[in-house]
């Protein structure tokens, strides 16, 4: 493998993509974004916005940097105006904005030497108002490296892709829009700039090949990285079809595939806080015929396949090297359903329900959370037979509940959850002299039925108070505390001084707000 040159080879061009975070700046558009604004407008009464970009270190102007201004008109049309700075670092001409419009945000795009910047304003402009916003731009992180093949030879003309994101935020669906990219030169060398402080991830986009060594990690303002080597390998496409339990196409299924051991694997790069990662995992949805395609799977890698579909059990498979087609037949999962009512039997809306299973069969987030509508009904599907499940219920103002354990074989056809008014535990925490103790932590643990408690512990599941964050609080400046929405049961109450010393513990029933807790030490 040829050693990396200390300076960027000639002819390297930095190409800056639209930063993904710009799309999220400002309010969601009521109508499609118009870019640029519609022509033939009377702009005589428009406000004028001048944006100035300078380097933070010496206040020198940054010419030629692209500036995006996102604003919303009174007609609820969202406009993205693009301008560039002149030799003085100012937008020339100024950005013209109609009176009454709201400036949502201003974004300064990255250059090779300066990092991007974003400012959220949400400011309404007036007729002929003159506005000025100045940005002090931080030095950009620059990364120099080489793209090589399996034998270590440089690969020319491939696209090096960069995101200002952590690794797993990139390996998702849909894949986030690129933040920066560059093309490797004749010897495979590349140079990327415009990267801000924080997380980054690098990958390579090359036809019929996949990056089996990617890079990522944490970088600091103005840092210069050299010697990053990204490696490619031959890849192919893997297609497949997912069928539901009834034999029909599983149009709602999704497929997650990736190299075995990828979650734990990362290799040293020789640079602090920068790592090499294996090939990226792929997440794709099935189409209306249950078909899917995994593009650029390294031909020599062994991959795991996980297929999920509402109402069905997850399906796991192994994609052996060279395998190009997969057919998956899903199994139907079990169901736990019921209704939430008040003491009079009337259905109740806006009750939040969380389903938790034992460590081997813990429902994922899609299965594990529901909120009741006006009919009070809830339904959890795709559950694995033989598991033990617990139902956690809470609605603000009502008592939190931990229900179960349930099994699919023994659960009632409809679980009936009756809401009860929530109870409080409150009072004041004092020291030995009677002075209020601010910042003391007060927590509670429900005294549950022995069988339920044993089942929760066996399944490594916490009680509903913990799950919904109702089990602890911190005293205010006057030493007061209040825990709300507790159940009509006994609780073990514990107060801990700011020093971390647990100085009080007692058991009592919820429903009191006149407690005086005296700590022996602070």
Of the chain, the percentage scoring pLDDT greater than 90 comes to 80
pLDDT on residue 5: 34
Average pLDDT over residues 85-102: 96
Q: Partners of 391 in the beta sheet?
A: 355, 403
Give 336-352 pLDDT, tens digit per residue. Answer: 999 999 999 999 999 99
Strands 369-371 and 352-357: antiparallel
176-204 burial, b at 16+ Cβ within 10 Å, e below that, comes to bebbbbbbbbeebbbbbbbbbbebbbbbb
Is the confidence at residue 132, as pLDDT, over 80?
A: yes
More confident residue, 375 or 408: 375
Strands 130-137 and 47-55: parallel
Is the confidence at residue 4, as pLDDT, over 60?
A: no
More confident residue, 350 or 5: 350
Average pLDDT over residues 18-45: 52
Q: Is 139 helix (H, G, I), strand (E, B) or coil?
A: strand
Q: Is 33 helix (H, G, I), strand (E, B) or coil?
A: coil
| Long-range contacts, stretch 262-268, CB < 8 angstroms, 24+ apart | 267/213
Q: With beta carbons less than 8 A apart as the criterion, state whether 158 and 196 touch.
A: no
> How would residue 177 be classed by pLDDT, with cut points 50, 70 and 90?
very high
What is the gyration radius of the CA atoms in the chain, in angstroms? 29
> How would residue 40 be classed by pLDDT, with cut points 50, 70 and 90?
low
**Which pair of structure tokens corresponds to residue 357?**
């299973």
Is the confidence at residue 246, as pLDDT, over 80?
A: yes
Q: Is 205 helix (H, G, I), strand (E, B) or coil?
A: strand
Cα distance between residue 215 and residue 145, in whole Å = 10
Q: Partners of 162 in the beta sheet?
A: 180, 202
What is the CA 362 to chain-centroid distance, rounded?
A: 21
pLDDT on residue 459: 87
Contacts of 427 (CB under 8 A, 6+ apart): 480, 481, 512, 513, 514, 515, 516, 517
Q: What is the mean pLDDT of the chain?
A: 90
Ordered by start, the domain boundaries in the chain are 1-14+140-332, 31-137, 334-411, 423-518
Look-up of token digits 């078909």: 291
The CA-based angle 368-416-446, given to 5 degrees, is 70
pLDDT on residue 442: 96
Give 472-483 pLDDT, tens digit per residue. Answer: 999 999 999 999
DSSP structural state of residue 363: -
Average pLDDT over residues 386-407: 94
**Which pair of structure tokens corresponds to residue 176?**
């986030």
Contacts of 495 (CB under 8 A, 6+ apart): 429, 440, 441, 442, 502, 503, 504, 505, 517, 519
Cα distance between residue 408 and residue 406, in whole Å = 7
Domains 1-14+140-332 and 423-518 share a fold: yes
What is the CA 141 to chain-centroid distance, rounded?
A: 24
- CATH class name, domain 334-411: mainly beta
pLDDT on residue 504: 74
pLDDT on residue 41: 67
> How would residue 33 be classed by pLDDT, with cut points 50, 70 and 90?
low
Instruction: Give alpha helix (H) positions in 364-462.
Output: 365-368, 450-459
pLDDT on residue 386: 83
Average pLDDT over residues 351-371: 74
**Superfamily grouping for domain 423-518:** Carboxypeptidase-like, regulatory domain (2.60.40.1120)
Give the least confident one: 164-178, 248-262, 500-514. Answer: 500-514
Write the DSSP assignment of 468-518 as a string of letters.
Answer: TT-SEEE--TTSEEEEEEE-SSEEEEEEE-TTS-EEEEEEEES-EEEEEEE
Q: Is 13 helix (H, G, I), strand (E, B) or coil?
A: coil
**Superfamily grouping for domain 31-137:** Carboxypeptidase-like, regulatory domain (2.60.40.1120)
Give the least confident one: 134-148, 200-214, 486-500. Answer: 486-500
Is the confidence at residue 118, as pLDDT, over 80?
A: yes
CATH code at 1-14+140-332: 2.60.40.10
Q: Partners of 509 in the beta sheet?
A: 490
**Which pair of structure tokens corresponds to residue 391?**
């139902």
pLDDT on residue 365: 41
How many CB atoms lie under 10 A from the CB of residue 91? 25
Strands 303-308 and 315-319: antiparallel
Q: Partners of 181 in the beta sheet?
A: 15, 161
What is the CA 182 to chain-centroid distance, rounded?
A: 26
**Which pair of structure tokens corresponds to residue 189?**
């060398």
Write the DSSP assignment of 293-353 as a string of letters.
Answer: EEEEEETT--EEEEEE-TTB--EEEEE-TT--EEEEE--BPEEEEEEEE-TTS-B-SS-EE
**Which pair of structure tokens corresponds to residue 314?**
């997850």
């Amino acid at each position: 493998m040829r050693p990396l040159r200390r300076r960027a080879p000639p002819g390297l061009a930095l190409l800056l993509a639209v930063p993904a975070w710009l799309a999220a700046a400002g309010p969601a558009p009521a109508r499609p974004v118009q870019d640029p604004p519609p022509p033939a407008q009377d702009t005589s009464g428009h406000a004028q916005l001048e944006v100035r970009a300078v380097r933070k270190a010496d206040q020198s102007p940054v010419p030629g940097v692209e500036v995006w201004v996102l604003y919303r008109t009174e007609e609820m049309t969202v406009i993205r105006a693009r301008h560039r700075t002149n030799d003085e670092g100012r937008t020339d001409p100024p950005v013209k904005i109609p009176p009454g419009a709201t400036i949502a945000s201003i974004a300064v795009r990255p250059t090779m030497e300066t990092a991007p910047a974003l400012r959220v304003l949400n400011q309404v402009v007036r007729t002929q108002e003159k506005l000025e916003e100045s940005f002090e731009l931080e030095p950009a992180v620059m990364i120099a490296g080489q793209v090589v093949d399996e034998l270590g030879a440089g690969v020319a003309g491939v696209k090096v892709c960069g995101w200002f994101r952590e690794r797993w935020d990139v390996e998702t669906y849909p894949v986030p829009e690129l933040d920066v990219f560059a093309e490797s030169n004749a010897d495979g060398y590349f140079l990327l700039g415009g990267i801000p402080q924080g997380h980054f991830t690098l990958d390579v986009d090359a036809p019929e090949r996949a990056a089996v060594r990617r890079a990522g990690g944490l970088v600091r303002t103005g840092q210069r990285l050299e010697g990053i080597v990204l490696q490619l390998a031959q890849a192919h496409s893997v297609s497949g079809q997912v069928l539901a339990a009834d034999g029909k196409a599983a149009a709602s299924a999704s497929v997650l595939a990736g190299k075995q051991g990828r979650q734990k694997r990362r290799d040293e790069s020789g640079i602090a806080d920068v790592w090499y990662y294996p090939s990226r995992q792929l997440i794709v949805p099935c189409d209306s015929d249950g078909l899917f395609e995994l593009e650029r799977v390294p031909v020599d890698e062994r991959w795991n396949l996980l297929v999920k579909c509402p109402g069905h059990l997850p399906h796991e498979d192994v994609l052996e090297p060279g395998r190009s087609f997969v057919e998956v037949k899903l199994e139907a999962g079990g169901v736990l359903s019921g209704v939430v009512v008040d003491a009079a039997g009337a259905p109740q809306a806006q009750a939040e329900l969380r389903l938790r299973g034992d460590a081997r069969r813990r429902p994922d987030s899609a299965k594990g959370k529901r909120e009741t509508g006006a009919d009070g009904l809830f339904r959890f599907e795709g559950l694995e037979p033989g598991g033990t499940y617990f139902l956690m219920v809470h609605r603000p103002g009502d008592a939190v509940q931990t229900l179960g354990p349930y099994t699919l074989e023994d659960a009632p056809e409809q679980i009936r959850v009756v809401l009860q008014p929530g109870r409080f535990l409150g009072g004041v925490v004092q020291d030995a002299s009677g002075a209020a103790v601010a910042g003391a932590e007060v927590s509670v643990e429900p005294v549950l039925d022995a069988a339920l408690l044993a089942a929760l512990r066996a399944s490594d599941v916490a009680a509903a108070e913990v799950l919904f964050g109702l089990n602890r609080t911190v005293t205010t400046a006057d030493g007061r505390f209040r825990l709300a929405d507790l159940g009509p049961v006994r609780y073990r109450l514990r107060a801990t001084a700011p020093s971390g010393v647990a100085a009080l513990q007692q058991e009592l029933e919820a429903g009191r707000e006149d407690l005086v807790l005296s700590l022996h030490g602070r």
